[in-house]
Amino acid sequence: MSGSALVVGLPVLPALVVGHVHHLRYRPRRRAFSHQHYQWLVDLDDPPRLPKLLRQFADLRAVDHLSGPADLAALKAEVLERVRAEGVAVPSDARVVVLAHARVFGHVFDPMSAFWCLGPDGTVLAALVEVHNTYAGRHAYVVRPDERGRADIVKDFYVSPFTKVDGRYAVGLHLSPTRVSVSVGLSTDGSPVLTAAVAGSVRRASPAEVARVALRYPLMPQRVSALIKAHGIWLWLKRLPMTSRDRSVGNAGHAAATQRLEPPGRHTALTRGAVARALVRVAVAPLPVRVRHPDGTVFGGGRPDAPTLEITRPGLLYRRLETHPKIGLGEAFMAGEWRAADGTDLAELLTPFARRLDRLLPRPVLALRGVVERAHPVHQRNTPEGAKANIQAHYDLSNDLFAAFLDETMTYSSALFEPDRPVEEQDLADAQRRKIDAVLDAAGVTAGTRLLEIGTGWGELALRAAQRGSTVTTLTLSAEQRALAQAKIDAAGLSGLVEIRLSDYRSLLDGPEGAARFDAVVSVEMIEAVGEEFWPDYLQTIDRVLAPGGRAVIQAILMSHARLLATRRSHGWIQKHIFPGGLIPSVEALTEVACHTGLRVTQVERFGLHYAHTLRLWRAAFVQAWPQVRELGFDETFRRAWEFYLAYCEAGFAAGYLDVAHLTLRRVQ
């Protein structure tokens, strides 16, 4: 970012900016369009005050921006927090002015909005440009424009299926008493791809002027949304190459995977959350928890000292739960619509819900879940191409991110603690090495063993196997993991014993029959990423490459078979935000699939409570390391998503809803 010497003058606020939106695509097909357009220009300390009738045409809401704060004062605080996080010194009396669309009849679509952070003399301290895509995703770029109002930033957010997540934006910002404009020009490899801009003249937002503009340009957000979709259809008809939003990884791959929140209130125009509100009361009535509303209302079956769920925005929360019950609770936490009250641990709050997951609601209500649940997205199928994209979406976020909360071994799976000592007294790294040794012992790995590992992680298992004298072939789809694992192997002087392949497990089937034979096969918490459709391929691969008398050991997260059957077709929060394409198996399902190979499950060693403690340690480390993680470019929505993910999983293992085990497979004689 360049230093800022830009000084601007302000019109009387609030104001309307009436003009045009311009869009020009240079390649691969040239297309330009321009439409009449208006936006609001508002000081967040001085929002519009309009007659009740006009508010339906001009409802500027904080929830439509950034993490979805409760009001404009909270939105200003978040803008300043994000700017300060980029190292910009902002005084307490700074002004924040936003150029954005307002809601019209409850609907808003704002492809690009801008926030100016101004000093008392009108100096632009920084600006924040927020981009929204048509998938309800949001991403904000903090910029420090130069004296001409220009800045250059790296693109790291998925906006359109016709544009990849890479390249650079040239940003232009102009703010004066008479005219306002914001422009972004995208280029890749030094060549322009497209330019988008909004520009217009300033009009004071008197009630009469608001009425005139609303009548002249009716249903502006709806119109903008329709025009963008029409533009997309034109590009599709012209057969422009498309990039899936879940397979698009750019200069900062993590950014493309964050902030894809469902907009609260979709499909709830009639009920406005009343159904979800009633069902939540039914669900928590028998639970040892309490639910507290902002007005002080408390319900639930818990005593005064019980874990307490504090709802901060009940209207948004309940409407979000009705929009998608299976995903809504986690997304509401990401959006800040509820939290664990002071003194309540998030995992302890979620554990009672996990214990009664199949009984939270009456059976007739549960029988209707198929009406609201959604199927897994087709693009998340774990085909060879899809599996690579799914793995990269999680494991290629950043090695530094995982290093911030994992132990020194960089092992991202359940540890195995000693049974005769309190877990609180044990070191996590020692427990991870103990788990790895248990896997290698069960597989019979000793000096001279030819070992195949499916799922390298960051290389600790391959390293310890090589230290035993084994020759190791290990497979991964994550370039980030492979780079760090290779560095560890090289540093230990074991590169002659370990080969790390960036390839799919199915690649082992490409060679001639009998070309690859291994004395042992191990795979630690990788089968969860395989997908039910490909479990047969996974076990058949192991069957084919395992030498006579060899053993395979799989560490797998497990759920009950009944729960698997009930949920395997529906798309959940974890799959949407954490592990695309993932599905947790049951022992029964894997045993059945193995029966179609020459392998049989001969032993199952369960240790689910060990995972609960592992996750508790990870979450504590993640929270403590958050300031460093934020410096990597991750935002507050990401922080809340990962806190919820780690606590949600911990609750599942603590309640017994989830389990983890070592499954030993041998060939049928």
For residues 390-394, average pLDDT? 88
Residue 4 pLDDT class (50, 70, 90 cuts): very low
Percent of the chain with pLDDT over 70: 89
Q: Which two tokens stand for residue 41?
A: 């220009």
Q: Which residues are 554's β-sheet partners?
A: 523, 663
The pLDDT tens digits for 578-595 are 999 999 999 999 999 999
Whether residues 385 and 368 share a domain: the answer is: no
Give just the sign of the alpha carbon dihedral 323, 324, 330, 334. Answer: negative
| 290 and 341, same domain (yes or no) | yes
Does the residue 269 lie in any domain?
no
pLDDT in tens, 184-241: 988 887 788 889 889 999 999 999 998 998 888 888 777 777 777 776 777 677 666 6
Tokens of 369: 């879940």
> Does the residue 477 lie in any domain?
yes
Give the mean pLDDT of the chain.
87
Token pair 């309490």 is at which residue? 290
Same domain? For 362 and 407 the reply is no
What digits encode the pLDDT tens for the residues 81-95?
888 888 888 888 899
First to last CA, the chain: 67
pLDDT at 253: 39
Mean pLDDT across 169-177: 92
The tens digit of pLDDT for each residue in 334-361 reads 988 999 999 999 999 999 999 988 777 7
At how many degrees (to 10) do helices 636-655 and 608-624 cross?
160
97 and 233 co-located in one domain: yes
The dihedral sign for the CA sequence 188, 193, 194, 195:
positive
Q: Is residue 571 scored above 60 in pLDDT?
A: yes
| Residue 49 lies in domain | 15-256
- pLDDT band of residue 453 (cuts 50, 70, 90) is very high
Domain presence at residue 624: no
Q: Structure pTM?
A: 0.71
Instruction: Put the strands of the sheet holding 471-476 in their side by side order.
Output: 498-502, 471-476, 450-454, 518-524, 546-559, 658-667, 599-606
Asked if residue 266 belongs to a domain, the reply is no
pLDDT reported for residue 360: 76
pLDDT at 275 over 50: yes
Does the residue 268 lie in any domain?
no
Report how far residue 502's alpha carbon sits from residue 632's, in angstroms, rounded to the nearest whole number.
25
Same domain, 237 and 285: no
Asked, for residue 129, whether it belongs to a domain, the answer is: yes
Please tell me whether residues 182 and 201 are part of one structural domain.
yes
Looking at residue 254, its pLDDT comes to 41
241 lies in the same domain as 289: no
On whether both 406 and 492 belong to a single domain, the answer is: yes
Which structure tokens are listed for 422?
């309190």
What is the pLDDT averaged over residues 628-637? 87
Structure tokens at 542: 């192991």
Residue whose C-alpha is closest to residue 429's, from 405, 455, 449, 457:
405
Per-residue DSSP letter, 344 = -
Q: At 480, which CATH number? A: 3.40.50.150
- Pairwise pLDDT comparison (512 vs 406), residue with the higher score: 406
Phi and psi at residue 368, to the nearest 5°: -90, 0
Q: What is the pLDDT of residue 1?
A: 41
* CA atoms of 357 and 505, how far apart (whole Å): 34
What's residue 56's pLDDT? 81
* Whether residue 480 sits in one domain with residue 383: yes
Q: Is the pLDDT higher at 539 or at 3? A: 539
Angle at the Cα of 559 from the Cα atoms of 571 and 544, rounded to 5 degrees:
90
For 247-256, 272-281, 385-394, 654-663, which range has the lowest pLDDT when averaged over its residues? 247-256
Q: Do 165 and 137 contact (CB within 8 A), yes or no?
A: no
Structure tokens at 650: 């911990």
Q: Do 331 and 223 belong to one domain?
A: no
Q: What is the pLDDT of residue 316?
A: 85
What is the structure's pLDDT at 155?
80
Question: Token pair of 470, please?
Answer: 């084994």
- Residue 161 · residue 19 · CB < 8 Å: no
Higher pLDDT, 262 or 108: 108
Query: pLDDT-derived band of residue 439, with 50, 70 and 90 as boundaries?
Result: very high
Same domain, yes or no: 346 and 408: no
Q: How many domains does the chain have?
A: 3
Residue 477 contacts residue 502 (beta carbons within 8 Å):
yes
pLDDT tops 60 at residue 246: no
In this structure, is residue 632 part of a structural domain?
no
For residues 282 and 224, membership in a common domain is answered with no
The pLDDT score that the predictor gives to residue 669 is 64
Given a cut of 80, whether residue 555 has pLDDT beyond it is: yes
On the question of pLDDT at 569 being above 80, the answer is yes
